[in-house]
Structure 1
Amino acid sequence: MYSLDYLNDPSLKPNASRMYDYFLGGFHNFAIDRDAAEQLKRLIPDVVLCTHAARAFLRRTVTFLVQQGIDQFLDIGSGIPTVGNVHSVVQPINPHARIVYVDTDPLTVLQSTEMLHGNDQVCAIRANACQPAQILQHPDVERMLDWSRPMAVLMGANAPFHS
């Protein structure tokens, strides 16, 4: 579980990936995220339904891809790899598949790294989707992924944040 040091940070603000986790019924979120999520639900009543639909699409997509032989996944803008995320869907089908999660938020990456501890086939890195070189040249990406082989690049959670 996480260090309680997060909660002592006066700059802690609601975070989209932790709110997403809350909407999915996860527990990788804080009171500040839940409060913001409840406010968002009042503004957009279907936000929980949309979140579950997006996650169901992700599960169907990665299941299909791994069944087609894809065993490398680069999930850009992943947020926290929580309820039904890529590695939890892919690894039961192919335990040797490799997954790299990418997010810009340092706390999200820290939480992800702690969650993934002990799983050598998965890692989380901090990089910006708008700066692909940060991702492609990251040492963990170079270590985990083989660019000479097929790979799925997922960017499903990015659309709402880019205009």
Structure 2
Amino acid sequence: MEAWPVTAGGFDANPLAEKYPLIVTAGTRRFRVHSYYGQNPLLREMEINEPCVRINPVDAEARGIEDGSYVRLFNDRGHAVAKATFSAGIRPGCLDIDRGWQRSQYISGCNNDLTSKQIVDWTCPTYAYHDCLVEIEPWDGVVAESQE
């Protein structure tokens, strides 16, 4: 409902895509099931030890982002600071941020702050990890007041 940046298939482009041109999804990782095992030091050592966002090098270069640097993803709802990881496997115009990290494990913000709650079924409100528009920029190193 939100991440529809072009007019196609009988649906008009979301005008919000002009302000936030990147579609962010939240994927799962090999040693994680949602937030399960997220505090396990051995599993964190084997894979990733902090929240990361995968970005296509084309999108990164256009924004002055270097591989391995910290970036700020943001929209009108909030922000999240994560480490950028280049991946040609990520389609330009898209980002993939790790799901399952707790707010306390982010430097600032949280990926949940970027999403909206959509009521798909009255019994199960859920975050829309597949339908979210954002912009991304190099992180300036300032921690938001709410995270200090």
Please give the range of the TM-score, normalised by the shorter of the 2 chains.
under 0.3
Q: What TM-score do you get using the length of structure 1 for normalisation?
A: 0.22
Larger fraction in helix: 1
Larger fraction in strand: 2
